[in-house]
């Protein structure tokens, strides 16, 4: 069963605080560069986040889907709040290096993270994705075969 919006706000406070910023990715990633592989090449970040062949990289979008539970329908109140947040994200400033593909992937990540918080089921990988955003990076893939390996994070 999902939480009400007030409960989601409490559970997702760090993420919602991050989303209140006016600019994203305006400084280098400040997270754990030993636990995560940090990359600086936007073309590699885009390839890692969109390549679904599994030949060069782990299929990132499929991996995220595999650890995302199949929840019942989201209450309208929360779905409406998620749509408001996504709409507000379109007015934010992003590092000029980012492309629409990565921004769209970020918006999808944010929507799924809020869903995770709403249902109280935030998988370890989603916690790592959230922490990468909070630390100023853009999670864009996985190095190795999950769960072995590490998160790949793009930094400006």
- 16-72 per-position pLDDT tens digit: 999 999 999 999 999 999 999 999 999 999 999 999 888 888 899 999 999 998 877
Give the CA dihedral 12, 62, 47, 136, nearest 10 degrees. 10
Q: Where are the alpha helices (DSSP H) in 25-99?
A: 42-50, 60-66, 76-89
Burial class from Cβ neighbours inside 10 Å (0-12, 13-18, 19+) for residue 7 reads middle
* Cα-based angle 42, 60, 118 (whole degrees, multiple of 5): 110
pLDDT tens digits for 97-153? 889 999 999 999 999 999 999 999 999 999 999 999 999 999 999 999 999 999 999
C-alpha distances in Å from residue 53, one per residue of 139, 143, 154: 19, 15, 20
Which tokens is 116 given? 């995770």
Report how far residue 38's alpha carbon sits from residue 92's, in angstroms, rounded to the nearest whole number.
24
Q: pTM to 2 decimals?
A: 0.94
**Could you tell me which of 51, 19, 68, 31 has the C-alpha nearest to residue 142?**
51
Looking at the predicted structure, is the pLDDT value of residue 5 above 90? Answer: yes
142 neighbors 58 (Cβ within 8 angstroms): yes
Q: Where are the alpha helices (DSSP H) in the chain?
A: 5-11, 13-19, 42-50, 60-66, 76-89, 100-119, 124-134
C-alpha distances in Å from residue 96, one per residue of 27, 38, 110: 12, 18, 20
Looking at the predicted structure, is the pLDDT value of residue 1 above 80? Answer: no
């Amino acid at each position: 069963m999902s939480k009400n919006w007030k409960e989601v706000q409490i559970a997702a406070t760090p993420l919602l605080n991050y989303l209140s910023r006016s600019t994203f990715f305006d400084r280098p990633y400040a997270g754990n560069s030993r636990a995560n592989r940090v990359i600086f090449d936007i073309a590699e970040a885009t390839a890692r986040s969109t390549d679904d062949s599994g030949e060069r990289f782990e299929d990132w979008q499929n991996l995220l889907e595999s650890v995302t539970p199949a929840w019942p329908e989201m209450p309208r109140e929360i779905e409406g709040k998620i749509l408001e947040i996504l709409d507000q994200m379109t007015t934010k400033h992003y590092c000029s290096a980012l492309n629409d593909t990565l921004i769209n992937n970020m918006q999808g990540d944010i929507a799924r993270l809020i869903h995770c918080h709403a249902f109280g089921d935030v998988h370890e990988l989603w916690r790592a994705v959230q922490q990468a955003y909070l630390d100023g990076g853009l999670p864009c893939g996985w190095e190795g075969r999950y769960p072995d390996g590490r998160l790949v994070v793009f930094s400006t």
